[in-house]
């Protein structure tokens, strides 16, 4: 009898354990130590001038502020830009002079004194002097003047209606300590100094990066005491660690199945909150066979973008119809495009175009490809799609840095590329399709197709084979509607001339434990990960 009672009690207890949901109090947990998994083997740089990869951005964002910022959870929305280190600002009538009035009493980490205009000037001057990747975003800045210790003036060469977005907490906008940069020298790369809610605790190469709270943070002492970023490149162990709660948040796997399984466990999975990375396959039009428009059109018709969305899952991948991803200011969607520029999947038409171009039996193309999953997997899908129309792609796999080195030396005729940029159509169009950005030039960025300098349709002329004028005019146009029209025309031209095949928009998957309170609603995010603020906390669980 006693045994039966005990057995029933055990069953009831067991069922409660399995079926009862974890209940979280709104009270903060006693231990405010957060583990945030990083998917890379290590970070390349914690210095915001050089930290460009998805791996280091969550760390950098926690350590620095900017003159202005997107509110947490609402990044990329230019209408929402608000004051950060600058209390207020004003612009001259001609739009070429911007004056920022700094907050007083903001202190740098590690006792490096108070923020002054000198630090702001130094931050942006060093981008050019040190050859930082973000320097190109500030080419239009003629001079930065220190008016007084709390006032700084930016003098622009040309009017730039988007200038404020370049000073936000994104890419080059993070303000660093001049004193620390000079004193620490090379050490600054991995142990930089800013004004953000968290400061460097310890960097353990190939192991983890540790941040500790900035006790004197000007927005208020952060709730989290410590953030540990273990480097966990293996998705299986990262998933298990997140499910167990030894790691409270981190990147997941960018596919539907992972999202479904993770949501069934006790994780919140965030997918829709970031703009995502656009993927294109660029074709080098300076070389055969891609100098022929019919070949490029054929490959456009041979690409089944809906199949990509199916392969990765509709939650994480969407077809991309324009060269500018949706969500960016001025981007066109499928509905904005005329039928002939939507290029619906049509393998028969693709074969016909290839035959007309002189390739009735198809083509063989060799290319280098990065071994990174986000490059290899979709290219494998594309390889199979193009094989159906007789185009055979042969990959030579190289590591990711080598791939980027080679494509910038113009060694590939086909280039797969994934990227997220400031959500303005002009930024995407400039970096990938402006003639000044052609690889190999001094002003090179990532124009792999040589668009803007080659004859795109075989008529012997390069006139009207460029979007340079449209993009340049939009960059100095104050009327938003006129800007949108210029960007729209540029995108139509790109779809007509096809320097690249727009393939998909990939959303990255992130997960967190339910007891992680970010301190804001993650509606829009531009970085590859969660933005941790002074309000982020762990709840009792």
Partner 1 sequence: MFKYIIRRILWMIPTLWFIVSIVFFAMHLLPGDPAIAILGEYATAEALAHLREELGLNRPLLLQYASFLGGLVQGDLGISLTNNKSVTQLILRMLPYSIELALSAIFVSIVIGIPIGIVSALKRNKFIDYAGRTLALLGFSTPSFYLGILLLLLFSLKLDLFPMIGGGKEGDLISRLHHLVLPALSLGLVNASMVMRMTRSALLETMGEDYIQTARSKGLKEMRVIAKHALRNALIPVIAVIGVYVGVTMGTAVLTEIVFNRPGIGKLLVGAVYNRDYPTIQGTLVVFAAFIAIVNLLTDLSYGVADPRIRYE
- The beta-strand segments (E) located in 420-509 are 500-506
Collapse the DSSP code of 20 into the 3-class scheme (helix H, G, I; strand E, B; otherwise coil) and give the result. coil
With beta carbons less than 8 A apart as the criterion, state whether 490 and 425 touch: yes
Nearer to partner 1, 52 or 380 (CB): 52
Pull the structure tokens for residue 435.
Answer: 């003639």
Q: Is 133 in the site for partner 1 (CB under 8 A)?
A: yes
With beta carbons less than 8 A apart as the criterion, state whether 474 and 480 touch: no
Nearer to partner 1, 241 or 269 (CB): 241
Distance CA 317, CA 278 (A): 10
Nearer to partner 1, 109 or 238 (CB): 238
Collapse the DSSP code of 378 into the 3-class scheme (helix H, G, I; strand E, B; otherwise coil) and give the result. helix
Nearer to partner 1, 41 or 480 (CB): 41
Pull the structure tokens for residue 177.
Answer: 């300590």
Residue with tokens 């660690």: 241
Q: Which stretch binds partner 1 (CB under 8 A): 60-68, 84-92, 131-139, 501-509?
A: 131-139
Collapse the DSSP code of 416 into the 3-class scheme (helix H, G, I; strand E, B; otherwise coil) and give the result. strand
Residues 43-62 that bind partner 1 (CB under 8 A): 44-45, 50, 52-53
With beta carbons less than 8 A apart as the criterion, state whether 135 and 125 touch: no
Q: Which stretch binds partner 1 (CB under 8 A): 155-163, 187-195, 504-512, 521-529?
A: 187-195
Cβ within 8 Å of residue 460, ≥6 positions away: none
Q: Is 126 in the site for partner 1 (CB under 8 A)?
A: no
Q: Is 135 in the site for partner 1 (CB under 8 A)?
A: yes
Distance CA 215, CA 389 (A): 62
Q: How far is the CB of 189 from partner 1 (least distance, A)?
A: 7
Q: Is 372 in the site for partner 1 (CB under 8 A)?
A: no
Q: Is the dihedral of CA 488, 491, 495, 496 positive or negative?
A: positive
- Out of 92, 187, 333, 461, name the contact with partner 1 by CB under 8 A: 187
Q: Which stretch binds partner 1 (CB under 8 A): 205-213, 291-299, 335-343, 374-382?
A: 205-213
Nearer to partner 1, 58 or 326 (CB): 58
Q: How far is the CB of 240 from partner 1 (least distance, A)?
A: 5
Q: How far is the CB of 445 from partner 1 (least distance, A)?
A: 8
Q: Is 469 in the site for partner 1 (CB under 8 A)?
A: no
- Out of 105, 111, 113, 131, name the contact with partner 1 by CB under 8 A: 131
Collapse the DSSP code of 388 into the 3-class scheme (helix H, G, I; strand E, B; otherwise coil) and give the result. coil
Q: Is 42 in the site for partner 1 (CB under 8 A)?
A: yes
Q: Which stretch binds partner 1 (CB under 8 A): 13-21, 65-73, 149-157, 199-207?
A: 199-207
Q: How far is the CB of 404 from partner 1 (least distance, A)?
A: 3
Nearer to partner 1, 51 or 499 (CB): 51
Q: Is 462 in the site for partner 1 (CB under 8 A)?
A: no
Nearer to partner 1, 222 or 230 (CB): 230
With beta carbons less than 8 A apart as the criterion, state whether 279 and 292 touch: no
Distance CA 261, CA 98 (A): 50
How far is C-alpha 77 from the chain's CA centre? Answer: 15
Residues 430-449 that bind partner 1 (CB under 8 A): 442, 444
Q: Which of 246, 264, 248 is nearest to 256 (CA)?
A: 264
- Out of 225, 398, 410, 472, name the contact with partner 1 by CB under 8 A: 398
Residues 220-249 that bind partner 1 (CB under 8 A): 230-234, 236-237, 240-241, 243-244, 246-247
Residue with tokens 């990869």: 53
Buried b (16+ CB within 10 A) or exposed e, 142-178: eebebeeebbbbbebeeebbbbbbbbbbbbbbbbbbb
Residue numbers of the site for partner 1 (CB under 8 A)? Answer: 41-42, 44-45, 50, 52-53, 130-136, 186-187, 189-190, 203-207, 230-234, 236-237, 240-241, 243-244, 246-247, 398-402, 404-406, 408, 442, 444
């Amino acid at each position: 009898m006693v045994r039966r009672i005990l057995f029933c009690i055990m069953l009831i207890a067991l069922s409660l354990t399995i079926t009862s949901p974890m209940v979280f109090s709104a009270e903060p947990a006693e231990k405010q130590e957060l583990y945030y998994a990083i998917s890379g083997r290590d970070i390349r740089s914690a210095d915001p001038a050089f930290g460009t990869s998805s791996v280091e951005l969550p760390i950098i964002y926690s350590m620095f502020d900017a003159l202005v910022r997107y509110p947490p959870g609402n990044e990329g929305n230019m209408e929402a830009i608000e004051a950060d280190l600058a209390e207020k600002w004003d612009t001259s009538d001609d739009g070429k002079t911007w004056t920022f009035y700094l907050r007083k009493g903001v202190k740098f980490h590690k006792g490096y004194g108070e923020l002054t205009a000198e630090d702001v000037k130094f931050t942006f001057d060093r981008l050019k002097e040190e050859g930082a990747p973000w320097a190109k975003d500030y080419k239009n800045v003629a001079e930065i003047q220190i008016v007084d210790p709390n006032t700084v003036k930016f003098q622009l060469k040309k009017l730039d209606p988007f200038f404020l977005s370049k000073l936000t907490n994104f890419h080059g906008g993070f303000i660093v300590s001049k004193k620390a940069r000079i004193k620490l020298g090379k050490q600054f790369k991995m142990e930089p100094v800013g004004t953000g809610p968290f400061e460097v605790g310890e960097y353990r190469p190939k192991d983890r990066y540790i941040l500790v709270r900035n006790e004197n943070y000007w927005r208020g002492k952060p709730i989290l005491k410590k953030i540990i970023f273990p480097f966990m490149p293996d998705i299986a162990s990262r998933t298990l660690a997140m499910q167990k709660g030894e790691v409270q948040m981190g990147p997941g796997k960018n596919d539907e199945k992972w999202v479904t399984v993770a949501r069934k466990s006790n994780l919140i999975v965030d997918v829709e909150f970031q703009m995502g990375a656009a993927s294109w396959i660029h074709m080098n039009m300076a070389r055969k066979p891609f100098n022929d428009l019919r070949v490029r059109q054929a490959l456009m018709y041979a690409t089944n973008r809906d199949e990509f969305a199916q392969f990765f899952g509709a939650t994480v991948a969407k077809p991309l119809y324009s060269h500018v991803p949706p969500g960016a200011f001025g981007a066109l969607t499928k509905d904005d495009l005329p039928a002939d520029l939507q290029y619906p999947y049509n393998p028969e038409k693709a074969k016909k175009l290839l035959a007309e171009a002189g390739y009735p039996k198809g083509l063989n193309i060799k290319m280098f490809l990065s071994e990174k999953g986000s490059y290899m997997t979709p290219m494998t899908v594309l390889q199979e799609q193009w094989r159906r129309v007789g185009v055979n792609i042969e990959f030579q796999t190289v590591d990711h840095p080598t791939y980027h080195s080679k494509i910038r030396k113009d060694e590939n005729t086909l280039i797969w590329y994934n990227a997220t940029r400031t959500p303005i159509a002009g930024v995407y169009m400039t970096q990938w399709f402006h003639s000044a950005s052609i690889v190999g030039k001094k002003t090179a960025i990532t124009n792999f197709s040589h668009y803007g300098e080659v004859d795109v349709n075989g008529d012997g002329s390069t006139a009207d084979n460029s979007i340079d004028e449209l993009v340049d005019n939009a960059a100095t146009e104050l009327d938003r509607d006129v800007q949108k029209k210029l960007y729209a025309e540029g995108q139509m031209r790109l779809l007509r001339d096809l320097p690249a095949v727009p393939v998909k928009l990939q959303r990255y998957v992130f997960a967190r434990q339910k007891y992680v309170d970010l301190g804001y609603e993650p509606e829009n995010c531009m970085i590859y990960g969660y933005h941790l603020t002074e309000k982020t906390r762990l709840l009792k669980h």
